[in-house]
């Protein structure tokens, strides 16, 4: 994340910190490290070192004008919190909206298990969750930035060229396994209603449900991503790329577009079954751990045919499965459904 920190420092945070926490003037005899008229310039002993040897971004004068220089631990912590929160919101709004406009089938809005004001409620839940998740997550990223992880820069710094490729499947397998275990644990009766039920309010989710968690639920399921670089070497730009991919994937498995009719990939069809049948398909990327754990439920072929996927028969079948399972998992159903459900009752 030091690369992300350098980019955001250069274009945003340097100016913010220079304005909020300006540096003290330079001493009259300070060596010529700042400006010719150093006595009138803000003073910082910090010197720029690129976060990666692959590229560099020359900092502006604002980088030297704050009492909190770029290597200040408090500044780094606050910046990482803001990145996780505000840029997390930006990614959520932009890509969930694009998915909703161009991918999501609007006919789903008339599904008998679609909630009243559901999209508003999904967005509200996500807005409440993201700052808390950012607060819980930034310490791990701060430790990484401060050099306590196994993140490396160039191939020569890592295990070798072979590992530059191997790190991707290793990341997917590792995080898929532990998210499966954590996700399944969140369905335990002792914690389900408090932590995981907020995400299961959405029986027929939209892309805006992707980040609509209880904050402790969202954080718990993100832990494997942040533990990975402390256990395994990972190239720093690859880590950023995988972190972005994780957010895209989370939106994609909630978009209702059942494309991956594949026995290996745990796509939107598999995840939709998890939302209406509760106790199946806990995995994030693959069906491997669900198969080994006896919790895999294969999507029916009709789910991949648009005419049958959106048929009244299919919806009634899904509703019946949901209602039967919900009695076991939650007891009484306290959801408020939309007008379509009221008409059918």
How much of the chain, in percent, has pLDDT values that exceed 90?
Answer: 84
Nearest residue to 21 (alpha-carbon basis) of 81, 82, 83, 70: 70
Model confidence, pTM: 0.90
Q: What per-residue confidence (pLDDT) applies to 345?
A: 44
CB atoms within 10 A of CB 65: 21
List 337's β-bridge partners, or say none: 115
User: Average pLDDT, whole number, for the chain?
Assistant: 91
Q: Which of 28, 11, 131 is nearest to 78 (CA)?
A: 131
Q: Which of 25-29, 155-159, 236-240 has the lowest mean pLDDT?
A: 25-29
In 3D space, the residue among 62, 75, 69, 58 whose CA is nearest the CA of residue 15 turns out to be 62
Q: Is 160 helix (H, G, I), strand (E, B) or coil?
A: coil
The answer to whether residue 133 scores a pLDDT higher than 90 is: yes
Q: Which residue has the tokens 């880590």?
A: 239
Specify whether the CB–CB gap between 43 and 23 falls below 8 A. yes
Reference 204, options 110, 296, 94; nearest CA is 110
CB 60 within 8 A of CB 14: yes
Confidence (pLDDT) at 38: 42
Distance CA 57, CA 38 (A): 24
Question: Has residue 41 got a pLDDT over 60?
Answer: no
- Categorise residue 298: left if φ over 0, alpha if ψ from -120 to 50, beta otherwise: beta
- Please, which pLDDT band fits residue 308 given cuts at 50, 70 and 90? confident
Confidence of residue 36 (pLDDT cuts 50, 70, 90): very low
Q: How confident is the model at residue 29 (pLDDT cuts 50, 70, 90)?
A: low
Nearest to 318 by CA among 328, 327, 309: 309
Mean pLDDT on 243-259 = 91
The predicted model gives 122-129 an average pLDDT of 97
8 A C-beta contact, residue 171 and residue 279: no
Q: Helices 215-231 and 161-185 sit at what angle, rounded to 10 degrees?
A: 150
For 155-198, the pLDDT digits (tens) are 999 999 999 999 999 999 999 999 999 999 999 999 999 999 99
């Amino acid at each position: 994340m030091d690369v992300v920190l350098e980019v955001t420092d250069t274009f945003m945070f340097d100016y913010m910190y220079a304005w909020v926490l300006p540096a003290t003037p330079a001493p009259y005899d300070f060596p010529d490290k700042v400006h010719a008229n150093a006595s009138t310039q803000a003073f910082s002993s910090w010197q720029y070192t690129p976060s990666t040897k692959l590229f560099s971004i020359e900092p502006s004068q604002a980088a030297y004008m704050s009492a909190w220089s770029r290597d200040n631990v408090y500044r780094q912590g606050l910046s990482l919190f803001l990145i996780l929160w505000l840029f997390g919101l930006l990614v959520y709004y932009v890509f969930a909206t694009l998915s909703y406009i161009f991918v999501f089938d609007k006919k789903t809005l008339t599904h008998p298990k679609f909630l009243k004001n559901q999209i508003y409620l999904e967005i509200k839940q996500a807005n409440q969750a993201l700052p808390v998740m950012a607060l819980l997550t930034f310490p791990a990223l701060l430790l990484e930035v401060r050099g306590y992880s196994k993140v490396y820069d160039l191939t020569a710094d890592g295990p070798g060229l072979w590992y530059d490729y191997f790190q991707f499947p290793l990341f997917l397998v590792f995080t898929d396994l532990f998210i499966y275990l954590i996700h399944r644990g969140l369905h335990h009766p002792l914690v389900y209603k408090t932590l995981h039920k907020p995400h299961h309010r959405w029986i027929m989710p939209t892309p805006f449900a992707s980040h609509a968690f209880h904050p402790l639920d969202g954080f718990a399921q993100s832990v494997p991503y942040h533990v990975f670089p402390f256990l395994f070497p990972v190239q720093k730009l690859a880590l950023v790329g995988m972190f972005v991919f994780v957010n895209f994937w989370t939106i994609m498995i909630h978009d209702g577009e059942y494309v991956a009719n594949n026995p290996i990939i745990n796509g939107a069809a598999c995840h939709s079954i998890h939302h209406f049948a509760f106790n199946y398909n806990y995995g994030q990327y693959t069906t491997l751990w669900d198969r080994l754990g006896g919790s895999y439920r294969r999507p029916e072929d009709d789910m991949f045919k648009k005419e049958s996927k959106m048929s009244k028969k299919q919806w009634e079948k899904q509703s019946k499965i949901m209602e039967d399972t919900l009695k076991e998992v939650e007891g009484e159903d306290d959801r408020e459904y939309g007008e379509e459900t009221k008409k059918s009752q």
